Every structure is written in C-alpha cells, then in structure tokens.
Structure 1
C-alpha cells in the first residue's frame, strides 16, 4: 500500500529492534522520523497492527448475516428479534466509553490495550460458540434431568439462553473493539494515524468479505441431532479468524508499561459515577470537527443498523417468494426447506458482492479524492494531482455516500425482483467503504492536529486510505483541511484515545438503540395489520432513506 507523502521528516539512526519500530520499520539504516520524534512505521507493522480489525469483522459479519435467521429459527417473533439487537448499541453506549477510559489508565505489565484485547477475544470466542450450540446444550441438560428435550419448557429455555447469549457476545466484543481502535492511535506517529486507519478500513472490508464468503460455502454435514449446522460452522470460522489475527497483533505490537501519572497526578477517576463524569467532561472538550463527525454518524447509523441486521433475511425471503411464485413443482416440506437454505445462500452471496464492491471502492477512491482549496492554500501546494478531481474532497465524498445510501435502500425495496435488489445492495458497498474510512480518518487527523502545533509548511497529513498500486514516495497526498474554529488543543487527547473513540462510538450506538425500538414497533404494527414479513422488512429498510439524507445534510458542515 502506498504511503502518503509526509514532508517535514528528518532522519535519525534507529535500531530496527527498537521498541517503537518493533523490528518492522523500513530496513534501511536510516529511517524517517516524524514530527513527534518517533520513527515512521513500515507497512508490515501497520498490517500487523490493524489485521485484528479484520478478524473482529468476521465475527460481526457472521452475526449480521446469520444471527437474525438463527433467532427466528428458534421461534422468536421478528419484533422480539429486533429488540434483541438492542444489545449491541446499549453495550456500545455504556461499556465502550467506560472500557476506553479504564484502558487509558491501565498500568498492566502487558500494556494499556493488550489485556483488554486478549481477554475480550477469549470471551468473544467462548460466547459465540455457546450461542451457536444453545439448542444442543439445553437438550443435553433435558436428557440428564429426564425432561422432554422438545417440550415447551425446553423450547422457552432455549430462546431465553439464546437472547442471553447475544447480550453476552456483545459485552465480550466491546473490549476487543475499543482496545484495537485505541492501539492504532497509540502505536503510530500522528502523521501516520490516518494511514493506519486506512489499513484498518481495508482489514474490515476484507473481514466482511471473508465472513460473507464463508456463508456461501456449504459446511460439512453434521449428525442429525445437530441443528443450524451452517451457523455453527460459521461461528467456528469466525473464532479461528479472531483468535489468529488478535494473536498476531498482540505478539508483534509491543506496548510500553504506562505510568498513569502521565495524564496528570490524580487524573484517573474511580467508581462508575466518577468515570462517567470524566467522560462527559471529555465530550465537552472535543474539537468541533469531531463533534460534527459524531452528528453525521448519528444519522448515518439510523440507516445502517436496520440494513446490516435485516438485509440477509429480507433478500432470502425475496428470493424464496420469487422462486415459489414461479415454481410448479413439489410442495413438500423437504422442498420448502431446500428453498429456504438456497434463499439464505443467495442472500449471503449478495452480501459477498457488497463486500467486494466495498473493497474495490476502498482501493480506487484514493485516486479520485483530492484535497480542498483551503488545505492547498494552508500548505502552499497545488490543489491536486492531474488524476484527481479538485472538488471531490474526503468530506464531500462522505456526504455523497449518504445520498447513495438513501437511493440504494429505496431501490432495494422496490418491487419483487431479487436481482435488481442485489444490484442496489452491491452498490451500497461504496457507501460502506467510506463509512469505515472517512469518519475515523477525520477523527485521527484531528487528534494529530490537536496534539501538536507544527509549522503548516512542514507537515502534510493524509486522510486517504492506502492502495497497493501506489508508490511509497508519493508526496502528492495531502490532508483535507477542516475549516472552522478548530483551535482546540489538548496535551492528553492522544493519550486518552480510548476515551475519544468511546465517545465517538456513543454517537454510533445511540441511533442504533432508537432504530431497534422503531423497527420493533414497525414489525409489531405490520403484524397487527396483516402485512407479510417480507414487505414489513422492506418498510424497516425504507426508514434508512430519510436517515441517509439527514446524514448528508449534516456532513455539509465538514469542509
């Protein structure tokens, strides 16, 4: 992947075995030194740093692709399933800022982030596999207690334990997600924070492709008493992916033992109330640009949440409806079951196409996006290279992605044609690529800008994701200057990256809670009116049309 030009580098002698370089810096005797005095890190280092984001995304892709279908197979009503997914945003809102805060002050010998990452990974692997085997566990205990394994009591117990498993899984994921994002900020010089995020966005998209791709592959047959064999196989694949990628990051990326006094004597607060008071103080101190990003994220995730958790079920029902309406064959139970399995596989294949489009967008958009005229003036540089569009800046690209989201969500829910819906869903991959890249790039660049006051003529910050076809010496990539009165300066915002990213996650999680409640109300209301489940899900997805337009309007405030 190309490394954006970072002018203002000096050169200093650095051992390739130094803690900061972790032996993965460029192999030359002299390595580039950034404005904050730390050596620039190499591509292999960035890959090892961010690869765990891909492993975590395999877990998310598995849950999003198969989770709703799994819960519905246990007999839960759609409106109850929608409420079950409140687990994610509630845990994200309550736990992620708290975990980020505690990791900022963690003095564990392993470092600040690694303990949360490793323990969270182990808990996530345990929870996702217990969730997949819930039915078999209940039947085993029923057998030991000499109770009917297929009776009403066992059925209700299975449903309750599955819901508890979803909550436990979402709790376990929070420390992994928080620590990885914070570690990316901690481990890179300020000038390379955005570049590291571009590696992370690529890892996330590849993880989605792996997760959805495995959903297309038929899993080996299991014993007849094993239910939901596909979901169990996918959970095992997700566990291996998460375990291996987190192991790479934990073993390669060294963290120094942290002295809590670096953030100021007595700065850490204890107790839930004290911690949250400090978090609210951090919210008030956020730079204006980060606040604006949070507003955009609030509207954006009102659209993304129902899509991510319902689109596979919607497409599978759309495909099944189309096949059954055209079929003149058998109407046996086995036939309907076969159609159901085939429908799910085609829906997951559509999501694989969506991930492939997202990956292509992540690699191609950097060659089109340019820096703004104000940033060019600030740096004394030309507006852009000839191959770029001078008006197509990162914030504008992000704004356009929300418009694309609205159009595609509307198009995907029109009519009964499965293939036309697949086309619109695949195009949503463009928006997803920017969702995984733009907000984090802007935030990390703002953190870097807020922690130092370098000479504008000596520094360029890249906001663009990496592309494997470009050269390491490309010095034309420049940051998007964010206009406004962003004069906020804090000597601790980088040290408190966990808290900052946790606050940003609140802006992502809160609209998901609102969306889950709204979706549940739509499911319940449509059921009372006799609307079929496929059309009900279409209305749930259409809510995202207005939310996407709201996000586009809010994004206009970022320059």
Structure 2
C-alpha cells in the first residue's frame, strides 16, 4: 500500500540564475558523473538549493556528490566488525552450548532469542534513532551503546563457567554439583538473549548509518561494499575458528570460544570507532522536533503497524521474499558447522562406541573446527561472489540519456568500456537474487544424501553464493527506494508551507526495522520447527547415526522455493526518465496520490 496522500511540495525555489521556478515544474536534468560496475547515474537527486537540512557535516554538495572508494570502505567497515561477533555466535555458539550440557532440542529454542529480539528490537531502535536529535547524529549513539553491550555480553558468555562457579563458590556451593551446572546453562542462555538484543541494536544503527550517509544514486554500490566487508569479517572469523587459538593466543583465554570472543570484541570496538570517527552524520539537533506521540509499548506497536501498511511498493515485495527465504537461511546459518561435525564424528563413533566423555568432548571439538573450515569456504565463496558478481550485473539505474551524456563528456575510459563489456544484459540484481534462492534450495535438499565431509563442505561452500546475494540484493533494493523518499521528506521539511504532521514518509530507521522483522519473524517458525524435528529424530550426543540436522536443513529448502517464486514477481526498478518533473517523481514513489 502506498503512503497516505499528502500535500504536494509547496513554495517557490530559485534556480542558479536567481529566477524563481514553481517546484511542480522543476525538472530533474543535471546528471551525476559516476563510473561503477554496479550502477550508472540517472539524475541529480538533489538540485542545488532545493534541499537544506542544516547539517554542519554534510552540505548540499557533500550529500549528493559521488563518494570515493575510501569513503565507502570507512562507511561500511563497522558492519564487518559486527559480523565477527555474528560469526563467533553462528559457528561456535551451538557447539559451546552443547558442551555446557544443553540438548539439541533445547538449544533450538535458545536460538529463538535472535528472531524474537530482531522482530522487536530493530524496529524499536529504528523509531528511537529516527526521533533522536543528538548533535552526534541519529544513529551514532545507538552504534556506541549497542557495541558496548555486545562486547560485555560476549565476554560474559565466554566466561560464564568462571562467573557462575566463582560466585556460587563464594557461597559455599560445590562447583561440580548438578545445581551449579544447571545454573551455568541458565545464565548462559540469559547472556545469549542479552547478546542478541545488543547485536540487533548496533546492527539497526549501522544499517541506517550507511543509508543516511550515502547518496541515493550510490545505495546499490554502498550495499555491495557492505556485503564485501561482511565477507571479509566472515573469513577472518572462520579462519580464526579453524586455528587452535589457545595455543597461539593463550593470553586471551584458555579455550577456543574465549579467544574468539576477545577477538570479536576488539574487532567490533575498533571498526565502529573508525566508522563514526571518520564519517560524520548530519547534526540531528538542528532538525525540527520529532513527531509528537505517546511513548510506551502500545504506541510502538501502533506506529509499526501503521508503517507496515504504508511501506513503499518495492520494500513491501522484498519483505515478502525475505519472510520465506529466512525460514531456510536460519537453520543453515546456525547448524552448518554442526551438520559437518556430525558427519565427521560418525566413523569414529561407529569404530569406538565406548568412548569416555572426555574423548567424546575432544572428538567434537575437532569436529567443530572441521565444520568451521566449511564455513570458511562458505565465506570465501560469498566474498568472491560479492567482489566479481557486480561486474556482471546489469545496472538497475542506467538510462540511454545518461549514457549518451557520459559519452559526450568523454567519461568512457578504456577501463569503463571494458567493464561495460562484462555486463550480462539480462542478469539484473533481482534475477541474480532469484537464481541464488534456487541454488540454496538445491543444496539444502542435497544434505539428505551427502554423507562425506568433502561433499558436505562443497555444499556449504556453494551456498556462499546465495548468502552473498542475501547480504546485497534486498538491502540495495530497499535502500535505493528509502533514500529517494528521504530526500523528498527533507525537501518537504525545508518548504515554508510544510506541515510536519502530514508528512507520512517514514524514515530509514523504522523502514529498515520493519524489513528486519520480515527477516526475524520467520526465524521463530524455523526455530520451533527445528526443535520439533530434533525432538523426534535426534540421538544422544556421542551416538552414531544422527542425521536430524540434515532433515532440518532440507525442510528449510522448501520454504526457499516459495521465496524464489515471490522474487520472480518483483519488477526491476523503473527509473524516472530525464526531464520528468519533481511532482511526477514524487507520485512515482508513492508519496503523492494520483
């Protein structure tokens, strides 16, 4: 559903010659100069003097001008640090909880923490950050607070045995008693929930930070860079997980999980500091007051539901795809390493069914490293896809008029002409995303039949292609649409006849939060379904013949087929042609009713 009708842009604007123009006939004619393997320019999203946001860090030219490569790296590097924290939780979280004594069926219910917190926390943080009027910017305070909470909860989870055992030991309780073991599990689960709340807070801030600080014509490029940074973060995390870290970094901790948590904490803190220290947001304190409204849980849900009803058309379709896609992706993310590990231990368990608990623990620790190596291959495949695939993707924002203008200005260098030849005309970003869903479903179905470590590693590695598109395509499609609508919102806000109460264009924070709801809420279904499957099919730890994880993965593949069908219904974005008036452009984005 399109946003509610609002009054058109009011007031007169001055062009560069000083003559006034009616904004309803103000043509978008100035093309942007940009060369990118991801997209080509179509129009100047912000005419000089058309938007005045009062920023002390980004004036009009800085807001709309094409950003260089180093800017994109610094803008997105914080999400790479966050990914290290995710990589630790995804690759080692399940084995760590199992080592504490948690069963597979209960572990599946523990991981419901992620989707539960993602469904609620990210939209809530999005609303809070949209309404934030800090001089640091709207997103920076939440990035800082979320990062600090993530670091604390990561380290507390890694040292949960020492924290709980030491505290209860002071009370005279035997550290080896069954009660202490149960308490350790309960506290560990509590820290998992705190960790997921913290990670969702910083992730909501980072995603909106990237969108706010990047011009609309570079949103696809920014999200592609973000996916590359995520790939680098994954690789670092999985390489570290595949090494016997306590042997080399003993001063960080005496277990693999402890050292990984320290490394992830250092990476997150340093990258977030680098991003917010070099890329400054607009001074939000100079903006007008936030919309008035009552606080509280009821008001929060009212605003969320209201925003869901008026989601922009492309964003709505992407959210529908994401709902079904993530029913499949969630089990794959959390159980891939355990899937590989179960295959690895089978011959050892069959050859020696009377292994001691210590021998079983040692065997599964080795199996975890083998599974983490598969995730390393997965991360390398994902990064390679994000590096090279953009050169093959047909730009979504190109137009013949701009191509002609660039040729007239001599902008086509040998390199740009070479890159143009690499483009596959029919392979749009949306079609690549559809193919990625089909690849994922095929690999997940294959887990039912693959019984070798090498074959299973190959399957998980191929899934890296699908993961690369999942990190790129939906955010690129949504960000481009939101960014354009955000420019319209600022234009309205600068109009003297604007009534803020009638401004129904939602800002980046809440829209990205709703998108995350479409990612998080299906994970609840996936978690409950996984728990049911494990309840009937799992065998005790150390018992051969357990293939329950493969069944869970294959079930997720079925849902991904639905996502592929819905992706086929998304249209490749239709740009506003050269010379179209602003008012028509607003109507095209659903801001004005026809």
TM class by smaller structure:
0.7 to 0.9
1:342 paired with 2:354, answer no
Which residue does the alignment assign to 1:83? 109
CA drift at 1:444:
1.0
Report if aligned partners of 1:412, 1:420 keep a CA contact under 8 Å in 2. Answer: no
Which residue does the alignment assign to 1:289? 314
CA drift at 1:412:
3.0
Cα distance in 1 for partners of 2:370, 2:463 equals 17
Cα distance in 2 for partners of 1:324, 1:250 equals 50
1:116-166 CA distance string (max 9 Å, x none): 110111111000110111111122123211211010110111011011010
Number of residue-to-residue matches in the alignment: 502
1:360 paired with 2:384, answer yes
Which residue does the alignment assign to 1:387? 422
Cα distance in 2 for partners of 1:20, 1:223 equals 41
1:231-263 CA distance string (max 9 Å, x none): 111001100010100111121122233248647
Mapping 1:91-490, distance limit 5 Å = 91-221=117-247, 229-259=255-285, 262=288, 266-325=291-350, 335-371=359-395, 385-451=420-486
Which residue does the alignment assign to 2:3? none
Report if aligned partners of 2:241, 2:372 keep a CA contact under 8 Å in 1. Answer: yes
Aligned with 1:54 (options 80, 92, 110): 80
Aligned with 1:543 (options 555, 559, 566): 555
- Partner SS, residue 165 of structure 1: helix
Q: 1:441 to 1:496 in 2, by over 3 A?
A: same
TM-score under structure 1 normalisation? 0.83
Cα distance in 2 for partners of 1:130, 1:544 equals 32
CA drift at 1:387:
2.4
Report if aligned partners of 2:109, 2:527 keep a CA contact under 8 Å in 1. Answer: yes
Aligned with 1:516 (options 527, 530, 542): 527
Report if aligned partners of 1:64, 1:309 keep a CA contact under 8 Å in 2. Answer: yes
Cα distance in 1 for partners of 2:47, 2:298 equals 47
Report if aligned partners of 2:130, 2:138 keep a CA contact under 8 Å in 1. Answer: yes
Q: 1:257 to 1:375 in 2, by over 3 A?
A: closer
RMSD over aligned CA atoms reads 3.2
CA drift at 1:212:
0.9
Cα distance in 1 for partners of 2:528, 2:558 equals 17
Range with bigger deviation, 269-278 or 348-357: 269-278
Range with bigger deviation, 394-403 or 532-541: 532-541
TM-score under structure 2 normalisation? 0.78
Report if aligned partners of 1:316, 1:347 keep a CA contact under 8 Å in 2. Answer: yes
Report if aligned partners of 1:314, 1:538 keep a CA contact under 8 Å in 2. Answer: yes
Cα distance in 1 for partners of 2:289, 2:316 equals 23
Report if aligned partners of 1:405, 1:545 keep a CA contact under 8 Å in 2. Answer: yes
1:70-107 CA distance string (max 9 Å, x none): 11111111110000001010001111101100110112
Cα distance in 2 for partners of 1:176, 1:500 equals 16
Report if aligned partners of 2:42, 2:398 keep a CA contact under 8 Å in 1. Answer: no
- Partner SS, residue 392 of structure 1: coil
CA drift at 1:491:
6.6
Cα distance in 2 for partners of 1:558, 1:140 equals 56
Q: 1:261 to 1:413 in 2, by over 3 A?
A: same
Cα distance in 2 for partners of 1:74, 1:329 equals 22
1:554 paired with 2:566, answer yes
1:509-529 CA distance string (max 9 Å, x none): 010011001111111122499
- Extract unaligned runs of 5+ from structure 1: 13-17, 23-31, 454-489
Report if aligned partners of 2:57, 2:282 keep a CA contact under 8 Å in 1. Answer: no
